[in-house]
Structure 1
Amino acid sequence: MPTNPLFRVQPDEELAEAHRELLLAFVDIDRLQQLLQSALPLAERSVLWLDDRFTRPYQTSHAVNYLILTAVDHLHCLKTVMQDADAQHIFAPFTLIRSAIETASTALWLLNPKDRKTRITRSLRLEANNIAMLGRAYGTMGVDVAETTRMRLELLSAAVEKSQVDKDVVMGSYPSVQTIISTATKEAGLSRWIFGAWQLSSGSTHGKTWAGAHTSTFTPDAGSSTEDVFNGCLSSDEASISKVLLAALAVINRALRLQARRARRSNGGSFNKTQPCSGELRWVQVPMRVVRT
């Protein structure tokens, strides 16, 4: 009987390596979850401290914290399901990883620019999108949020005026998630594989067979399959989960490192220079090795 051309077979050695990588990644996720139990302190007159003065009451540092926490929360759920509950799903892991890549990339998108006005503009654009989405979502549910929306828009307008950024840009169309991921990862010098990992995860989330062919494993049943109909068992592919998970961790890692730099008082040095880091988790180095493959 011919093999199914739509699904690949997962070799035993690849499965063993995926197990090892996942176990190490789960340790890192636990450490991240503990790390984010408290907010990162901002040094007075640090980059983020100054940014917050212009974006208040929609402080950039608060948005970054919220986005990184959201990313880690999704990955901790994945770790809890796969390791603690010993349950492995076919498609759900990629939904969780997709969310982590999206939210961590958005945090990185806010942090990346060296120019303060660009950072502030992006932060206020995020809030403008929040307000717009709030109005649409609650309006669909029949909840009147006109007064809340009006008040938030007034606060946003005041922040725009105080920071002297382009109001048309702030209130204009918000970039797509694809644009944010590709822009943020390119600016940060991360591998293009990050975007590919998001595409695979997104495809699996939405039940696209092109993605499922790469993120799941099919074991045919020789007794009931024919030349043109393949019956069998569809199962999760740990190697694919491991690869896209490490891509998500690479984005979170870069966002956390840049957040820490932006939260420290600048000594006048260039933000282009990599600062020495102490006490880094294992994933500071490992995901980048995997991402480049």
Structure 2
Amino acid sequence: MSEQFGITEEMAGATWHQEIAPAVQIVMDRLQDPTDFRVSSESVLAEDDTATDPYHLSHSARWCLNSAVDHLHALKTLVVDARALHSSASYGLARGALENLGAAFWILHSDDRAIRIEHSLRWWAKNFKDQELATKTMSNRTPLSAKLDRIEALAREAACDLSKIRNGYSSTEALTYADTNSTASNPYLIWQICSGFAHGRPWAALAINEMEKRPTEAPGISLVRFTADHTRLLAITKLTMHLLEDVLRLYQDRSAGA
């Protein structure tokens, strides 16, 4: 395997075991603790929740945080516990973490309450629109329009920009926002690469994975074997952990009492 960024496979393996795995486990354990991540009644986040009831801003952020850490924990379990490096699936898990952390950061970051509320309500609108697409053949559903009307009413009351509320949001918007405002390096680009793996795109594998070619009898055709390595996956995971740290800091600052 090749060395990336001056890091050997042995160094990368040690970082996975001594830094990444313990850090992920700590956050996972915190999320499982009902006394952790509480929102103080005197906090900024509590006021946000009052303005967005019943679609609490803290709930949208926690949904994203929970899903992101779940993906990271699954990645840790594969790489460290099972010692299994998958050529595509590992990056798919990193993508799930980045996508959710990008959304959480986008929701929590702005110091402007109206923008935070707008972003959170757009996240909920996207949730309900996706639900509608998945369940439109089922009966006894609350109409999508009723849910969006309620979301829009909350946005209007909070003096939000109403032009995008009903449209939801995109991961591209959230990750490009994180590109500009977070401490993580190029999260949008890394998310695009990981998305390439999740969708089976050749360009992602050709750019990131180790490639071994074997000639065949057919002219111009080779047998190709792709393999992942600890160093490249580590670089992507460390970037993801930086974004996780940003989200945790924002959530804790917003949820703390005055």
TM bucket (normalised to shorter chain) is: 0.7 to 0.9
1:264 aligns to 2:256 (yes or no): yes
The residue correspondences of 1:150-169 to structure 2 (distance < 5 A) are 152-153=147-148, 155-169=150-164
Distance 1:14 1:168, change over 3 A: same
**Cα gap change, 1:83 to 1:190, in 2 (>3 Å):** closer
C-alpha distance in 2 between matches for 1:161 and 1:196: 34
Tell me: CA distance 1:37–1:148, structure 2 relative to 1, closer, same or farther (3 Å): farther
For 1:85, the equivalent position in structure 2 comes to 82
2:124·2:168 contact (CA, 8 Å) conserved in 1?
no
Partners of 2:173 and 2:152 in 1: CA distance: 25
Once the two structures are TM-superposed, the CA of residue 230 in structure 1 deviates from its matched residue by 3.3
State TM-score, norm by structure 2.
0.88
- 224-233 vs 175-184, which deviates more? 224-233
1: CA distance, partners of 2:41 / 2:142: 35
User: Secondary structure of the residue that 1:75 maps to in structure 2?
Assistant: helix
Spell out, residue by residue over 1:180-227, the C-alpha distance to the aligned partner (whole angstroms, 9 max, x if none): 1011331235422x22211211112222222112321123447x6898
Q: Which residue of 2 is the match for residue 291 of structure 1? A: none
Which whole-Å CA distance do the structure 2 matches of 1:10 and 1:188 have between them? 30
State the match for 1:241 in structure 2.
233
Residue 257 of structure 1: how far off its partner (Å): 0.6
Q: Which amino acid aligns with 2:199?
A: H
- SS state of the match for residue 101, structure 1? helix
**What is the rounded CA distance, in whole Å, between the counterparts of 1:154 and 1:174 in structure 2?**
13
Q: Which residue is equivalent to 1:147? A: 142
Whether the 8 Å contact between 2:126 and 2:169 is mirrored in structure 1 is no
Name the counterpart of 1:198. Answer: 191
Aligned length: 253
159-168 or 38-47: bigger deviation: 159-168
Bigger Cα Rg = 1
Runs of at least 5 residues in structure 2 that lack an aligned partner in the other structure:
none
Segment drifting more, 252-261 vs 211-220: 211-220
Compute the RMSD of aligned alpha carbons: 2.4
Report the equivalent of 2:71: 74
Report SS of the residue matched to 1:41: coil
| Structure 1 gap ranges (5+) | 1-8, 267-293
Matched residue, 2:9: 15
Separation of aligned partners in 2, 1:241 and 1:34: 23
- Which of 27, 34, 37 is the matching residue for 1:32? 27
Indicate conservation of the 8 Å contact 2:108/2:116, yes or no: yes
Distance 1:233 1:225, change over 3 A: farther
Query: Percent of counterpart pairs with the same letter?
Result: 25
Q: Secondary structure at the match of 1:147?
A: coil
One-letter amino acid matched to 1:185:
D
Secondary structure in 2 matching 1:36: helix
- State the AA in 2 paired with 1:30: Q
Cα distance between partner residues in 1 of 2:83 and 2:66 = 24
**Equivalent pair of 2:51/2:154 in contact (CA under 8 Å):** yes
Structure 1 match to 2:206: 213
